[in-house]
Amino acid sequence: MTKMNEIVIRVLYGSETGTAQDVAEQIWKSAKRKGLQSTVSCLDDYDIQHLSLEQLIIFVVATTGQGDPPTNMKHFWRHLLRKSLPVTLLQNLKYGVLGLGDSSYSKFNFAAKKLNKRLAQLGGKELLSIGLADDQHNLGIDAVVDSWIKTLWEEIVNVFNICIEKKFEDENLIIERYNISITDINQLNRKREKYLIDNLNKSNTDIYAQETFINSNVRIGTIVENIRTTSEDHFQDVRLIKIQADDIKYNPGDVIYIRPKNTEEQVKRFFDILHEHDIKLYPCTMIQVSEKEIKVPFVLKQNLTLKEIVEQYWDLNFKPRRSTMHTLSLISENELEKEKLCEFASPIGQEELYDYINRPRRNILEVLIDFPHTTSKLNINLLFEIMSAIKPRPYSIASSLEATSNAIQVLVAVVKFKTKLVEPRFGLCSKWLASLKNNDKLIFWLQKGTFQFSNKPMILIGPGTGVAPFRSLLLEKAKTEKDLKEYILFFGCRNKNKDYHCREDFERLSRENNLKMFCAFSRDQDRKIYVQHLIRQQKELCWQFLENHGSIYLAGNSKNMPNNVRDEFVSLAKEIGKMSKEDAETFIRHLEKNNRYQTETWG
């Protein structure tokens, strides 16, 4: 029988926004509770020279764009693809791959699937079948993640012949990732004290600004325009926001990642909760974070006030996952609250948890209010375990450097909707962006986008804010090519006079540059008209473009539109192309496989 201390479980993750890191740390904590040696790090921080010596590695990998690996995995992935690597390189390795994806994308969990296949090609042995978590599921990724992790421990016991039954049910240990120390403001020197007092109620300091010194890709931008593109009486607030920054480079289809902050109202509510439960932590409390079990994020290595952490690091809109409820259940001493938290943390309580958290979009602050006795047991260390870091948000760039030098424009719809809860739900980043004024600063970086724009002709389909990357493309082509006769743009919105985003730009491009543009204003007549109906009306033109080796690009909400549009192109191939239903479907799949039909959708 293998001794437990002879097994080291490496948990490696790759993610753009941090979700894979959260899941990797969940696995790492579970291993620690079971008395197993475990480490966790992102893939590019792992010393790949040790790979051939490893016994057991768990990979948690998100997918970006058109099936691409995330940024903090690219170095590892390039090394793994080297043709000189022997096919026996990983003959001693047992591995498991857990993919985090979104089934609204055609290349669902592609990065995880490719990694799983490559590890096997190099001699690795699959410990358990690849897990393919789907953000579109009612329970989110937890629907797959929880059962996959349970199977993982069962396989580790069987394959490595180790006995962990005695600790298998011992889930009462809270694993703290960092050492947290507090320095009260009264102990600071007078100069620092005055600085803090002067700035406590201001949001002009940015804790991520120091990243610009260690990463040249991270930049500080200045807001120079924040214009509403929808009428004041329209139900949705959409903004065209212009960000000024020197020496930037990007291409049409590229993406800007933005670090948002919580609203002042949310920050105040957080400290009100602490005050109501007599938790003696204050906005001016100084926090120092040092390494205990895992690497401390760079942003937390500086001395920060708790207000700075609450405002800029913790996501106060975060919807708690099962692992959060489990941690809260461990500190609860109130019988009724503990029973409910344990139910939420159990496998059989997942539908209840979905009804409590996911359906109404209940956030972490509302959970703390609902469980007051448990909340009263919190301290600074526990807060670092139950709170989740704010994830950077990606937005398609809507501008062109050719048309607007040293500036980036984004088209942002402020997310707002009602649930059974009294207060409307808001998107953290979109609401924050809409509140920014001229000369406000933000932290951002640019990244290659999901679209791979090829040679024209092009059929562009972008209802709503999905038109953003196509605005970027068309503004650039209007400057470099002048004539846009080989571009078709299908745009859709509710009303011509209420939410026709960037109308002046598109009408000018149609008038002066021969852009073929067709607009579906769904609510301007009795019968609703959507982009797929316009594609049907223009079927001969679309087929002409496809026959001339044209490509299709689609961006927008993932709910119904992408499938409806795809069905329309299948019908088009049947009718105009004189194909059977099977051949038409094969034709569209061929376009998708060869990047002549690309989609960028979101939930």
Is 135 known to sit in a ligand binding site? Answer: yes
Please tell me whether 395 is known to bind a ligand: yes
| Amino acid letter, 600 | E
List Cα–Cα distances, 34 to 37, 292, 595, 600, in angstroms.
Answer: 9, 18, 46, 41
The answer to the question of whether 70 is labelled as a binding residue is no
Which two tokens mark 590? Answer: 């061929």
39: helix, coil or strand? strand
Cα gap 34→165, rounded to integer Å: 9
Residue 64 assigned as binding residue: yes
103 annotated to a ligand binding site: yes
84 known ligand binder: no
- Neighbouring-strand partners of residue 556: 601
Is 332 annotated in a binding site? The answer is: no
Known binder of ligand: residue 532?
yes
**Residue 223 CB partners (closer than 8 Å, separation 6+):** 241, 242, 243, 244, 436, 437, 438, 439, 440, 441, 442
Q: What residues form DSSP beta bridges with 9?
A: 38, 56
Q: Is 15 marked as binding a ligand?
A: yes
Task: Please tell me whether 382 is known to bind a ligand.
Answer: no
| 523 marked among binding-site residues | yes
Q: Is 581 annotated as a binding residue?
A: no
Question: Is 356 assigned to a binding site?
Answer: no
DSSP 534-578: HHHHTHHHHHHHHHTT-EEEEEEESSSHHHHHHHHHHHHHHHTS-
Residue 65 known to bind ligand: yes
107 assigned to a ligand binding site: yes
Closest by CA position to 365, among listed 408, 412, 421:
421
Which residue type is seen at 474?
L
The contacts of residue 179 (CB under 8 Å, 6+ apart) are: 289, 290, 291, 292
Q: Is 101 annotated as a binding residue?
A: yes
Q: Is 522 annotated in some ligand binding site?
A: yes
551 marked as binding residue? no
Q: Is 358 annotated as a binding residue?
A: no
Nearest 10 degrees: Cα torsion 299, 303, 309, 314 = 40
Cα–Cα distances in angstroms (integers) from residue 83 to residues 90, 95, 284, in the given order: 14, 21, 55
Contact by Cβ (8 Å): 144, 131 = yes
Q: Is 396 annotated as a binding residue?
A: yes
404 is in an annotated binding site: no
Distance CA 558, CA 102 (A): 10
Look up residue 121 and give its amino acid.
Q
Residue 39 counted as an annotated binding residue:
no
Q: Per the annotation, does 102 bind a ligand?
A: yes
* Residue 67 assigned to a binding site: no
Consult the annotation and say whether 109 binds a ligand: yes
Q: For residues 244 and 237, is the Cβ–Cβ distance under 8 A?
A: no
Consult the annotation and say whether 361 binds a ligand: yes
427 among the known binding-site residues? yes
Was 529 annotated as part of a binding site? yes
Q: Is 394 a known ligand-binding residue? A: yes
Binding site annotation covers 106?
Answer: yes
Bridge partners of 126?
Answer: 95
Question: Is 602 flagged in the annotation as binding?
Answer: yes
What residue numbers does the annotated binding site for FAD cover? 361, 393-396, 427-430, 602
What residue numbers does the annotated binding site for NADP(+) cover? 465, 522-523, 528-532
What residue numbers does the annotated binding site for FMN cover? 15-20, 62-65, 100-109, 135
What residue numbers does the annotated binding site cover? 15-20, 62-65, 100-109, 135, 361, 393-396, 427-430, 465, 522-523, 528-532, 602
